[in-house]
Amino acid sequence: MPRNAKLDRDLIWAQMRQSLLRGPTSAAVLARTSRISQSSVSRVIAERGELVRIGRRRNARYALRRHAVDVTQPLPIYAIGEDGTARQLALLHLIYPQACYFEALDTDVPAAVFGDLPYFLHDLRPSGFLGRLVPEQHPELRLPPDVRHWSAEQTLGYLSKYGWDVPGNIIVGDGALTLYNRRSPATHAVELGKRRRRYPTFADDVLGATPPGSSAGGEQPKFLVTLLPERTAALVKFSPVTDNVVGRRYADLLVAEHVAHETLRHAGHAAARSEVLEAGGRLFLEVLRFDRTAHGGRRGLLSLEALDAEFVGKGTTWSEIARALWEQGHLDEGALYEIEWREQFGRWIGNTDMHPGNLSLFTERLRPVGLAPVYDMVPMHYVPRQGNVLTQPLSFTRPLPPLVEAWLDAGRVALEFWNALARHPRGSDVFRSVARENAVAVAKTLESATR
C-alpha cells in the first residue's frame, strides 16, 4: 500500500473511531460522519480486528471492542443442562462506551446489546456472606475487597476463571467450564452420617475466612456442601453458638425457616426441602439446592431482582414487580397470583426482608418458565437488633382489594405455620411462646376479616 494511502486510511479510521467510541453505529452513519463512501468504510472495517459486527447484512452495526484486564474476548457463554451436559449459547463482547454485546449462537436465544452485564448474568455476581469471601480466596485477581464495587469487567474476569459453581445453569468462559467438567474441587463433600461431626468444623472454617467487617448486617453465615453418596448439592446456614439469647434467637429463626418450608409444601406450594441439625453448640439448617439436579445437572434460575432491573425498574414489592412483568407478558397469571400469595404469607409470618433477590424463577433458554420453590422465608421481624430480641406478637393490616383473596388464603396457611412452630421440639421455650401468641393473633384477624 502506498504510504499516502495508508496515512489516509489511518486518518479515516481515527475519524470513525471517534464515532464508535460513542456506541454501535451503522456503516452508513460512519460514512456520513467521516465524509467518505461506504465502500471506503467497508475497506477500513475489513482491516480492523478491534471491531465487532452486530447483526447481519443491511441492518448490521459496528462496535468498537473494549479491552479489559483478565478478560479474554469474546467470552463463550454456556448453559448446563439437567443431564449435566454443556451447550454454548453465545459469545459475549465488551464494547464501547460501557456495554456488552451478547452474540447469540442458539437460534432460540435472542442477540442483544446491554448497557452493563446482561441481566441473566446479574445473579452470578458474588454477593452476600459467601460472595464477600471471594476477594480473599483469589488474591491473584487483585480485585477490590468489597464485591459490591466490582465493575462488569472485574466480575467477568472472576466468573471466567472461577465461576463454575454459581447459582443457576450459566457458566461464563472456558476456564470456568473446565473446572465444572472436572467437578473439582468438590465443595465440602460429606457423608450423611458424618454431618454432625463435620458441620461445626465447616462453620468454624468459613467464619475464620471472613474478613473483619466484610459481612453486611443481617447476612446469614453459611457454607456449601455436597452430600454423599448421591452427590446432592446443599446450602447450610448456621446459627451462632446458642449459649446466649442472641445465638438462641438466630437458631429459632432457622427452625422457623424449616417449618415454613414444611408448612408450605403441605399446603401445596413449592418450597425448598430442608433439614435441621444440632451439633457443636450450633443449629444448622441444611437446604437442598433446587438449581441442581442429580449427577451434576443444573436448572436455569433468575431472581425477580434481575428481571426487575431489566424489564421494570421498580425495585419495590414482589407483587408490584410481578404485576408489571405480567403486563409485559413475562409472567402468566398463575405465576402472578402465586407471587402475590407468597408475599401475603410472608407478611402473616413477619418476613420483613422480602427483597426481589429472595424470589426466583426457573428459566429455559434464558426465559422464565415458572416459579422456583420458596426460599429465605423467615420471620425476620424477630431478628436480634443490637443484642435485643423481640417477643411481642405481630399486628396485621388488610391489603388493598385485589390482594384480599391471596391474603385470606395465605393467612390460613400462616396459622398452620405458627401452630407447627409452637410445637417444634428444636425451638426455644421463648420462641414457641411467641409462635403461640402469633397463632392467636392470626386466628383473630382471620375471624374478624371473614365476618
CA–CA distance, 249 with 218 (Å, rounded to integer): 13
Report how far residue 82's alpha carbon sits from residue 374's, in angstroms, rounded to the nearest whole number: 20
What are the b/e assignments for 140-179, b being 16+ CB within 10 Å?
Answer: eeebeeebeebebbbbbbbbbbbbbbbbbbbbbbebbbeb
CA dihedral 174, 177, 178, 179 (to 10 degrees): 130
The CB-based long-range contact list for 396-399 (8 Å cut-off, 24+ gap) reads 396/347, 396/348, 396/441, 396/442, 396/445, 398/449, 399/344
Say if CB 45 and CB 27 are below 8 A apart.
yes
Closest CA to 237 of 263, 208, 207: 207
The SS3 of residue 360 is strand
Cα-based angle 160, 163, 167 (whole degrees, multiple of 5): 135
Sheet of 222-228, strands arranged across: 189-191, 222-228, 232-238, 282-288, 274-279
Selecting among 70, 106, 353, 409, the annotated active-site residue is 353
How far CA 14 is from CA of 28, 30, 36, 65, 109, in Å, comes to 17, 11, 13, 15, 35
> How do the residues of the chain divide into helix, strand and coil, expressed in percent and rounded to 5?
45, 20, 35
Task: Report d(CA 392, CA 285) in Å as an integer.
Answer: 25
- Measure the CA–CA gap between 347 and 438, rounded to whole angstroms: 12
d(CA 364, CA 104): 15
83 labelled catalytic? no
Do 23 and 66 form a contact (C-beta atoms < 8 A)?
Answer: no
SS3 call for 316? coil
CA angle 255, 258, 260 (to 5 degrees): 110
**Residues annotated catalytic, as ranges:** 353
